[in-house]
Amino acid sequence: MSHRSILGPAGAIAQRLTNYEARPEQLQMADAVAEALAGPGHLMIEAGTGVGKSFAYLVPAIQAALADKESRVVISTHTISLQEQLIRKDIPFLQSVMPEPFTALLVKGRGNYVSKRRLKVAHERGLSLLTERGALEQLDTLLEWSQVTHDGSRSDLEFRPLAPVWELVESDSGNCMGRRCKTYADCFYWKARADIQKAKVLVVNHALFFADLALRALGPDVGILPKYNAVIFDEAHTLEDVAAEHFGLSITRGQVDWLLNRLYHERRGKAIGLLTLHGESADLMQVHRMRTIAHQFFDSILHWRREAELKAKRQSNSDSFRVRRTAIVADTLSVELRKLADRLDAIADAITDEAEQIELESVSHRCETLAESVITWLGQQLSGQVYWIEGSGERGDRLQLASAPIEIADIFRKTIFERIPSVILTSATLSVGGSQGFDFFQQRYGFPPDHATLQLGSPFDYRIQAELHLFRQMPDPTSDVRAFEEASCAKIQEFVLRSEGRAFVLFTSNQTMQRTANYLRDWFADHQLTLISQSDGTPANRMLETFRATPRAVLFGVDSFWQGVDVQGEALSNVIITKLPFVPPDRPIVEARCEAITERGGQAFADYSLPQAILKLKQGFGRLIRTKNDHGMVVILDPRMVTKPYGRRFLDALPACRRFVDGVEVESPSRDR
């Protein structure tokens, strides 16, 4: 049975759903996916909102996996919402209409599963390991839950365990006894591993996929995922940043604190930790010494950064500061971490209980790994990477020492395109417009030039469903920030009244969002409009729930609301975009990527900054029209859309709809989008 017999106008889905409408774009996409999987070959495909891309790739992927008993397909997404849509809605529905049964599974990272052995030990020794209020009660609840839960994963819990509690009980490769463990036969993690081997379709997130790739670099049998023949990346526009995180370094003061607290610390007059059970006074003194040295080390990093900013005459407006040379401070940390690791190994060797040995050896291994990371970061030993210091907290003293690959094209080429027979990348935003619209991602991702690309427009009629409002008579946000913000507040007031709330206001800066929210809060209340602002610290999912349920609501959001958010119907009738979403040029990874482009003879703005901003704007625009019955307006306050030559590039990349400039309708574009 072909995919068209499932998706077509008289197919299995149409016979099940009375209101089903076959979409030509969806069938085109399914044809292209099926061809890539059969090739085998790679495919990059942009599918506009409303194409129904999940069914368009799922149906041919399932059929390809079923055609060969050794075949398996991985579906990787960026957002939890899409992952849940696939595993809870789309795949179960297809299991009910596909002619042949198939198995699909959501793959979770190991740390999502509880270890029965570790839970038993933690429950027995909780008094010597935990001091947090309510921690022992949580251990009691977890023990009861472990006897009735189906899959033993954290998502099956009705509460969120305290971090110190879950760290004691989670499944961890560093302290797993494997088949020697008494609970191996009932282990939730190993049961999940067995289920993974049987499944034909595996749903993962990008983070887990790249964590698996990073592990495979250590050896062929180390990975999280079993062998697969194809991978389909949905929300593929996010891959570069996710990959960069997993192939770089991240060292934080919190990591060191966690290690030391795991071993020994005093709280509320009580000493707890592994070394209270097995260590001697000299070992406890070593932990105290380690704490002092770690504190001094990170303070020296902070001092170096502040001195470097003064020398560069740079205001510390950014959380990130690039490090361009090695050995910026003395490495006092790695030596002590290795001394501690050696001592933990010696203690473990003297213990006869294998389970307790493994716990100590696990912490020892983390000390060694952290020491190696410190050496690598200070020496900038990973070539082709950019290094920086990230500061957070009120005083900027929560430090992260970070690095990331400047380019991921070679990594993708070697670990993905040359290793996996069929790789399909899809998103609503992969083309920046024009005949060479895919060039940006092809070059950034190392996508083989001789493989297929396809751009499919949306089946929605944007000329009827959407209006685009632009402004020439606005201050320039780059030359007069204050005037632009004041004028933006006035425009926000005007347009949220016009739509009676029901609006997203998307910002590119947390600080600007917070200033605007503070300025307009009383005005919103006076006009019976409910302001839901991300600057108030409410989790994004709760903000969305409140927005959907509240009449006349206005949601202020930053990055997480530009993409992956789906609000259908009248609840969202207005999307206001305050500024063009150019990535800050002083962000270390952005600065390094732009330098690399310039060194190759390219133009950093035209080849990187502008395409990135176009894709982000397309994502923001895409929040408005989610179904064929949606109507509304997108309001872009940034005058550069009409005053700068590159504004045409942004406009050409957006769907054609009625267009207004300073309230006056202008000639609508004639192209068919």
**Cα–Cα distance, 155 to 141 (Å, whole number):** 15
**Cα–Cα distance, 325 to 373 (Å, whole number):** 16
Helices (H), 180-280: 188-198, 206-216, 239-246, 253-263, 275-278
Q: Which of 29-43, 131-145, 590-604, 659-673 has the lowest mean pLDDT?
A: 659-673
pLDDT over threshold 50, residue 673 = no
pLDDT over threshold 90, residue 135 = no
Q: What is the mean pLDDT of residues 95-111?
A: 91
Q: What is the mean pLDDT of residues 456-483?
A: 94
Q: What is the mean pLDDT of residues 383-389?
A: 95
**Cα–Cα distance, 200 to 198 (Å, whole number):** 7
Beta bridge partner(s), residue 426: 45
Q: Is 29 within 8 Å of 53 (Cβ atoms)?
A: yes
CA distance to 267, 342, 347, 418, per residue, from 278 (Å): 19, 15, 7, 49
CA dihedral 498, 500, 503, 507 (to 10 degrees): 60
Output the average pLDDT for the chain: 90
Tens of pLDDT, residue by residue over 150-202, are 889 888 888 888 888 888 889 887 778 888 888 888 898 888 888 888 999 99
Per-residue confidence (pLDDT) for residue 617, from 0 to 100: 96
Domains of the chain and any CATH numbers:
22-103+199-242+408-456 (3.40.50.300), 110-194 (no CATH), 248-405 (1.20.120), 462-666 (3.40.50.300)
Q: Is the dihedral of CA 19, 21, 26, 30 positive or negative?
A: positive
Distance from CA of residue 630 to its chain's centroid?
28
Per-residue confidence (pLDDT) for residue 269, from 0 to 100: 63
Per-residue confidence (pLDDT) for residue 391, from 0 to 100: 84
Among residues 110, 136, 402, 477, the alpha carbon closest in space to that of 247 is found at 402
Residue with the two structure tokens 């993905």: 416
pLDDT over threshold 50, residue 672 = no
Among residues 514, 536, 547, 499, the alpha carbon closest in space to that of 491 is found at 499
Per-residue confidence (pLDDT) for residue 277, from 0 to 100: 76
**Cα–Cα distance, 415 to 408 (Å, whole number):** 10
Per-residue confidence (pLDDT) for residue 268, from 0 to 100: 63
Tens of pLDDT, residue by residue over 49-93, are 889 999 999 999 999 999 988 889 999 999 888 888 999 999 999
The DSSP element (H or E) to which 665 belongs, if any, is strand 664-666
**Cα–Cα distance, 93 to 21 (Å, whole number):** 16
Q: Which two tokens stand for residue 492?
A: 């926000």
**Cα–Cα distance, 433 to 448 (Å, whole number):** 20
Per-residue confidence (pLDDT) for residue 433, from 0 to 100: 81
